[in-house]
Structure 1
Amino acid sequence: MAVEQADAIIRVRDVTVRFGATEVLDKLDLDVKRGEILGFVGPSGAGKSVLTRTIIGLVPKVSGQIEVFGVDLDAANAKERRAVERRWGILFQQGALFSSLTVAQNIQFPVREYLKLSQRLLDEITIAKLGMVGLAPEVADRFPSELSGGMIKRVALARALALDPELVFLDEPTSGLDPIGAGDFDELVRTLQRTLGLTVFMVTHDLDSLHTACDRIAVLGDGKIIAAGTMAEMKASQHPWLRSYFHGKRARAVVGSNTGVV
């Protein structure tokens, strides 16, 4: 069910995306509520990351409307669009750090794009953002090749937070991390969401993340949103894919670990 317009940071209506003859998204509708962490799930190849890229403008849509912060992105002029983009941050799959830049330069990249600040202020922002994601100041001088997988994700998150956004897109943020690292990252995202008042759109396949970090879940199937609601509502659904996903062997193991059942 659609939320009130004033409560929706993102409103997607009748969005269709095709690659050649293949229709990936078919008149899709979705709302992301202000201040929530929305987990976006679905089968592999269903188009979860495609929707993220469509919202932020990296993938063109055939039809439909996308509003972010109440602004119709198709109707917005360049200045209006840039003002909206200034209010969001993005963590791409695998971090997508620039390999030839240091950690500090990666974090400062979006700041340089939008603001004219002294190097001293840029360096202060870098240290502050590293601290927010649990990394020491000395990490700033390292290159991505010198970082572990978990550190890369945290640096990418620091870059996403560099401009103090209200909205953050996370594309498979725990992919490739070991269970402990993934759990720590989920807790970090939850803590930042609460302390900074963020709205988070999280593409994920990680059941642990859905249980521990997300307020609400939206499920993509056959190009549309086939269900949206709380974890309890997902578990109560009789839809075949939802029952397989949320009641399968892996789901039972996750539920058991979260409740202390062995």
Structure 2
Amino acid sequence: MPPSDTDKHRKTDHDVIIRATDVTVRFGSKTILDGLSLDVRRGEILGFVGASGTGKSVLLRTILGLNPKQGGKIEVFGVDYDRASDAERLTVEQRWGVLFQQGALFSSLTVLENIQVPMREYLDISPQLMEELARLKIDLVGLAPDAAEKYPSELSGGMIKRAALARALALDPDIVFLDEPTSGLDPIGAADFDELIMTLRDTLGLTVYMVTHDLDSLFMACDRIAVLGQKKVLVEGPLQTMLENDDPWVRSYFHGKRARTVVPKDENPHYAVKDSDGK
């Protein structure tokens, strides 16, 4: 069988920094991902979306090596993570940062101390330099200087997200993984966070892998979107590809009532097409 256009693209794209190929993940007898393949390209903001419970966070954790997989291969920066030595894994891990759901800050540590955790783990630098770098990250994500001495319980939801992002940036990573970064934020706070992510991508040359349900984030911030469905990537591409796709779930998600508050009618080619209810 001749290779598909997708296969040809996957083989010739030299800007891919994460490549998941035929990944299968099971928990007991339940299969979560089955033969999933996905590329993440250098410098892009990739939005990863799918119905609740389909395995979006499972794939993220599998890429990070936190979940075992039963089949397939994951390469990060050209390194096959399964075959990598401890030294190679250490090198790879220092090139990524992670913002977990709800921030996952250590409640007994201040913001400054939380940001210093990866530095203490991986860097051999003086306490003074570590503090200076941590304060730089606090400023980078738009937090006030006095946030450094606050504990997570003293922070608002938006401040927690920014503090967690500062920790994810502690080692100056090449890629950041964001798991539902705007969940729980009000619309203004979520829009501000999206703006921050886009600014950091452009300023620092980051690649961003964003698991999200937030339509505003998908429409505003993402260069490319991948949809998880039927235990694999159902469709991937820019927003226009999502708007033109006829899969029932994709169509419902990107053409539903909530989507119509985000995308102007003149930018959505399907607004002229009636919904199944005739509206």
TM over 0.5: yes
Specify the alignment match of 1:58 in structure 2.
Answer: 66
Q: Distance in 2 between matches of 1:180 and 1:126?
A: 26
Specify the alignment match of 1:70 in structure 2.
Answer: 78
Segments of structure 1 that go 5 or more residues without pairing to the other structure are none
The percent of aligned pairs where both chains have the same amino acid is 66
What displacement does 1:124 show?
0.5
> Quick one: which of 174, 177, 181 aligns to 1:166?
174
Q: How far does the alpha carbon of each residue in 1:140-197 deviate from its partner, in whole angstroms, 9 at most, with x for none? A: 1110000000000000000000000001000000000000000000000000001100
Please state if 1:102 is matched with 2:115.
no
Specify the alignment match of 1:245 in structure 2.
Answer: 253
Q: What TM-score do you get using the length of structure 2 for normalisation?
A: 0.91
What displacement does 1:137 show?
1.5
Q: Distance in 2 between matches of 1:248 and 1:139?
A: 39
Change in Cα spacing, 1:258 to 1:180, as seen in structure 2 (3 Å) is farther
> Quick one: which of 2, 18, 21 aligns to 2:29?
21
> Quick one: which of 38, 44, 62 aligns to 1:30?
38
Please state if 1:157 is matched with 2:186.
no
What displacement does 1:6 show?
1.8
Three-state SS of the structure 2 residue aligned to 1:190 is helix
Three-state SS of the structure 2 residue aligned to 1:15 is strand
Three-state SS of the structure 2 residue aligned to 1:255 is coil
Q: Distance in 2 between matches of 1:126 and 1:196?
A: 16
Three-state SS of the structure 1 residue aligned to 2:262 is helix
What displacement does 1:7 show?
1.1
1:1-262 alignment, distance < 5 Å: 1=6, 2-3=9-10, 4-256=12-264
**1:30 counterpart letter in structure 2:** L
Aligned residue pairs: how many? 259
Segments of structure 2 that go 5 or more residues without pairing to the other structure are 1-5, 268-279
Three-state SS of the structure 2 residue aligned to 1:188 is helix
**2:76 counterpart letter in structure 1:** V
What displacement does 1:116 show?
1.3
**2:103 counterpart letter in structure 1:** G
Cα root mean square deviation, aligned? 1.3
What displacement does 1:254 show?
1.4
**1:41 counterpart letter in structure 2:** V
Three-state SS of the structure 1 residue aligned to 2:181 is coil
Q: Distance in 2 between matches of 1:258 and 1:59?
A: 43
What displacement does 1:5 show?
4.2
Q: What TM-score do you get using the length of structure 1 for normalisation?
A: 0.97
Q: Distance in 1 between matches of 2:106 and 2:178?
A: 17
Three-state SS of the structure 2 residue aligned to 1:6 is coil
**1:215 counterpart letter in structure 2:** D
Q: Distance in 2 between matches of 1:208 and 1:201?
A: 16
What displacement does 1:93 show?
0.3
Q: Distance in 2 between matches of 1:100 and 1:224?
A: 39
Q: How far does the alpha carbon of each residue in 1:109-162 deviate from its partner, in whole angstroms, 9 at most, with x for none? A: 001100111111011011100111001111111100000000000000000000
**1:91 counterpart letter in structure 2:** L
Q: Distance in 2 between matches of 1:55 and 1:247?
A: 30
Three-state SS of the structure 1 residue aligned to 2:146 is helix
Q: Displaced runs of 4+ in structure 1, greater than 6 A?
A: none
